Structure 1
Amino acid sequence: MRVARLSFFIAAAAVAWPCLAVAAPAAPPVGAATLKSAVEGAWSRSTALSTLIARQDETAAARASARSWIAGSPTLGLSQRADRGASLRDQRESEVSVAAPLWLPGQRSAREAAAARSTEEVSAQLRQARLEIAGEVRTRLWEAAAAREALAEKEDHLHHMEDLSSDVDRRVTAGDLARSDGLLAQQEVLAAQVDVALARTRAAEALARYRVLTGIADLPPLEPESLVHAVLPANARLTAARATELRAQAGLRLAEATRSAAPSVAISVRREHERNLGEPTNSIALAVQIPLGSEARNRPAETLARTQIAAAAAEAAQAEALVESDSALAQEQLRNAEAALASATRRAAAMHEHTALIEKAFRLGERPLVEVLRSNALTHEADVAVRQQRVALGLAHAQVNQARGILP
């Protein structure tokens, strides 16, 4: 009875399992590495992040200062006077004053505009820095991918040479081949082992550089990035250059609006007490100080602002030219990579067919071992080319997106 019941449960599970598999597809592993997570990791470890965040705090403080109704910090004054000589008046004076600088006409709005342009510049620089980090991650990622693919091909070649060497050893033992053929096959195996060791070192170095940059141990799936063909926003590099130019122009307007120091207004309360008088007397005073400015005083600041505008304009023009050049070059590299992969794939297919024919002829005793080894070497070279061109195609996709300012 128990056996029958157990058989029923097994049969029911066998029927229900495919349905459960369809209803609940396998979820991706939690915490799997992606290009986006790699960029996030590199961004969090970037030294530029803390610097730009500090600059954000600086610009926020500048905007708060520009919104104030006074041009600077107010000052508090206290004074006390008293007779100390032979006078019989016994006079004492106490005074309390408060003074504050005021904005010149147009200066407050110019300072607010300069602070706003500085905030926009820092935001643009944050996007540019993030794009640069993404470009570095893309480069390190595909460097590590190329090294790993090279290692995989070297290991495949080693396994193939080991199988061939075993076959040659059996035929040498059987007397079908000379001892020299066995030694030749053995040295090819040893050479392949050396290549594997070197490839492992290069793969470990490339992966270490990727880990130091991103803080992530594993590479994401090595699939070429999807190319976006829709209308794109302006490249972050170009946006940052233009924001710097706008900030420099706002700095010139601020320098022109600040051709003299800010005027100050002071209000004071004085209390006078004299022995001959009954009650102490109080008085209130209002004072205004207006500095006299000149063009000569402010000329260095205005000249510096114009110099910054010229430099920012030149950098913006250069950034625009570089963005256009990088985009055109990336498109050309993508076309070349696609053509190279197609050619390498056809070459590898032809070499595999050629090697299969040579090995068949070798087993029949119609071709020498040297021809087999040479054909294997060429086939191995063709397979390496295919793997490397696949990596090059993935890198070309990444470079196109990078040149167009696309973040993962």
Structure 2
Amino acid sequence: MRKRPWAWPGVLAMALMASASPGTASAQTSFIRQGFEAAWARQPEQRSAALRHEAAAAHRAAADRWTPEPPSLDLSARTDRYNRNEGVREYDASVAIPLWLPGERARAQASASSDASAVDARLAAAQWRLAAEVREAYWTLQRAGSEQQLAARRLANARQLADDVTRRVRAGDLARADSHQAEGTVAAAEAAVAEAEVGRLQAATAW
């Protein structure tokens, strides 16, 4: 039975790049593919794939034999040496060849083919599940990075606004309450940046 190589399937690569933007699709797909391959190498399904294929191949080889079991040879000898001792000796040899029952071999072959297909199906299903998890982890990391950058820009804007308000308060154009409000906005933006950094760290760890 020929084993199927479980390298990166083309359809799987297409699925992983489905959400990528046109300008960066190649780089993103390559990055996700590397993540998938690293994760797949650690999966129990991948580690046991060779053994499962070997077991399925052995089942198929057994079903393709002309007999359900190997033939057996039986030898026996008889003599009268311990009673009359007249020199009588007899040797018997027999060969036993098991035979398939009607339809049994076809059922065994069908069962072996079903086992091989089941192994392939389980591996494919495990790959698709892992591909979805890897893709989700990748895009979660991208979103976390974007949120962190957005929070940093908001903080920069809040600080710039606070500086402007402070100058105008000193010039007497605005009330002290406006300065307090601007400072509160900066504090909220700083908290948002810290939260975004934590989220990105968690997403990076998951990836």
TM-score where L is the length of structure 2: 0.73
Q: Deviations over 1:104-139 (max 9, x none)?
A: 232222212221232223223322222222222222
Larger Rg: 1
Query: What secondary structure sits across from 1:101 in the alignment?
Result: coil
Distance 1:173 1:149 in 2: 36
Correspondence 1:72 to 2:69? yes
Distance 1:180 1:30 in 2: 50
Distance 1:83 1:134, change over 3 A: same
Return 5+ residue gaps in structure 1 as ranges: 1-28, 211-408
| Residue pair 2:168, 2:174 contacting (<8 A) in 1 also | yes
Return 5+ residue gaps in structure 2 as ranges: 1-25
Q: Counterpart of 2:101?
A: 104
The aligned amino acid for 2:133 is: E
Greater RCO (CA < 8 Å, at least 6 residues apart): 1
User: How many matched pairs?
Assistant: 182
Q: Deviations over 1:189-230 (max 9, x none)?
A: 1221111111111111122112xxxxxxxxxxxxxxxxxxxx
Q: Map of 1:14-163 to 2, 5 A cutoff?
A: 33-83=30-80, 85-163=82-160
TM-score where L is the length of structure 1: 0.40
Query: What secondary structure sits across from 2:101 in the alignment?
Result: coil
Distance 2:52 2:81 in 1: 55
Distance 1:53 1:175 in 2: 79
Q: Map of 1:278-289 to 2, 5 A cutoff?
A: none
Query: What secondary structure sits across from 2:120 in the alignment?
Result: helix
Partner of residue 198 from structure 1, selected from 195, 200, 205: 195
State the 1:156 CA deviation.
1.0
State the 1:83 CA deviation.
4.0
Distance 1:32 1:135 in 2: 13
Distance 1:30 1:152 in 2: 21
Distance 1:33 1:204, change over 3 A: farther
Distance 1:35 1:149 in 2: 18
Distance 1:179 1:33 in 2: 54
| Residue pair 2:144, 2:199 contacting (<8 A) in 1 also | yes
**Poorly superposed stretches of 4+, deviation over 6 Å:** 29-32
